[in-house]
Each structure stands twice: as C-alpha cells, then as structure tokens.
Amino acid sequence: MKVPVWLRPVLFIAVLLAVWQVAIDRHPAQLLPGPVGVASGILDLMQHGLLLKYVVASLFRVTWGFGLAGLVAIPLGLMLGWYRRGEMAFYPLVQVFRPISPLAWIPVAILWFGVGDLAAIFLIFVGCFFPLLLTAMSAVHNIPAVYFNAGRNFGLSPGAFVSRVLYPAVVPQLLTGLRLTLGIAWLVVVAAEMISVNSGLGFLIVDARNAGNRYDLVVAGMVIIGAIGLLLDIAMRSLEQVRSFHWSSSED
C-alpha cells in the first residue's frame, strides 16, 4: 500500500516521537523529558492560561518589529536600488552595521527603552531591517532592462512607473525575502525575551529553567516555538504561490 505524500511527514514525526519516548523510558535518569512529559507540560500551561498569553506576547512583538522594519527598509531599499549614487553613499554604512548581531544591541536597547516590549521590538527591528533593505535593493537590480525600456516607450510618469512596473516586478523577490526575514524575527524575539522582558515564549524557557528545573516546560516552549515558526513559514509560502504576485515570471 502506497503511503500518501501528505502523510509521510506525519508518519516520520510519529516514528521520531516513538524513538524519543523509548529512549527516555530506557534511561529515566536523564533530565530531558519525553514526549509524554512535554505534552503534560503543554497541558499544564494551557490550564494555567499561560500558553495563549505567552504566544500572543511573542507574536505581538514580532508583528510590530517585523512590520516596522518592512515599512522602513523596503521603500528605502527600493529607492537606493533605483538611485545608484545614493546606494554608493549608503552601502558602506550598511555593510558596517549589517554584520552586527541583533543580540549585541541588547545593552543599547535596554538603555534606550528599558526592560519591556519596546526593547524587544527594537531588537527585532534591527534584526529584520538590513536583510529586507538588501533584498529590496537586489530586487531592483534584478529587474530586466526590457521593463525599463517599456516604461520609457509608453511615456509613464515616475509615479506610474513605480506603481505599474517597479513594485509588481520586485514583489516575487520581496516575498522570498520577507519569508526568510520573518524566520529571523522569530529567532530574535525568543532570544530577546530571555533577557529584556518578563513574558513570551523565550521568557517561558528561562523562567522554567530557573523555577525548579522544569525541563518539561523548557522543551514544551521549544516545541511551541518550532511549531509556530513552521506555521508562519507555511503562511508566507502560501503568499508566494499567489499568481497575481508573479506576473513577471516567464511562465506567465
């Protein structure tokens, strides 16, 4: 009997969970809990109303940090990609700040914004800004010359060219960049919550570790983080499949 394609990942995960549980049962002295213990930890969080609270807190920070970075970085990147003199002026500065880890900004974020949501949002903003900026610049550079020639031949105004040619041409690459950067935002928020806030999934992991070595909650937090990250990636990939965003593809 042939296993359906959609069922194969489910079966593979089930096998991994079974192996994990068997390994824990054979070595019960290990600190790492098994799937049953992790599931019990998740239920415990749900019963105390903490699961939804922490998930919403993390998603709130990611939404604001990621959204603000997109609103600032994408238009700026498109402008710099369009005006090469501006790119030549700002590119060295971008390359100086881009390699700096967002976590290196934690002392600065706490100094400026204190311990709270603003510090975490700032760290996410920093982590997302430069990838989105470079993606937007690269997207403009990759626009085929025939699009520019067509815009000139039809006598489009600068505003019409941006709305009817530039933005549609760069959308596919921007969606890919947004998808990858959203993963970065999710990584940064977890790290930021371990240091600069007192809620969220990152805080859950640290708090569970400090409050009596609740490793079932530590691993539960890790599982929840991974599951939400997968859902966010699936959502972004679904946007990449929208045909109206791919009018510039050769297959269309």
- pLDDT tens-digit series, residues 198-239: 888 888 888 887 876 778 888 888 999 999 999 999 888 887
Give the global pTM.
0.83
Cβ neighbours, 10 Å, residue 232: 18
The H-or-E segment that residue 102 falls in is: none
The answer to whether the beta carbons of residues 124 and 184 sit under 8 Å apart is no
Quote the Cα angle for 8-10-14, to 5°: 115
Going by the DSSP 8-state scheme, the letter that residue 116 receives in this structure is S
pLDDT at res. 26: 77
In whole angstroms, give the CA distance from residue 241 to residue 76: 26
- pLDDT tens-digit series, residues 162-178: 777 777 788 888 888 99
State yes or no: pLDDT of 125 exceeds 80: yes
Residue with tokens 């599951």: 227
- Assign residue 115 a region (left: φ > 0; alpha: ψ between -120 and 50; beta: otherwise): beta
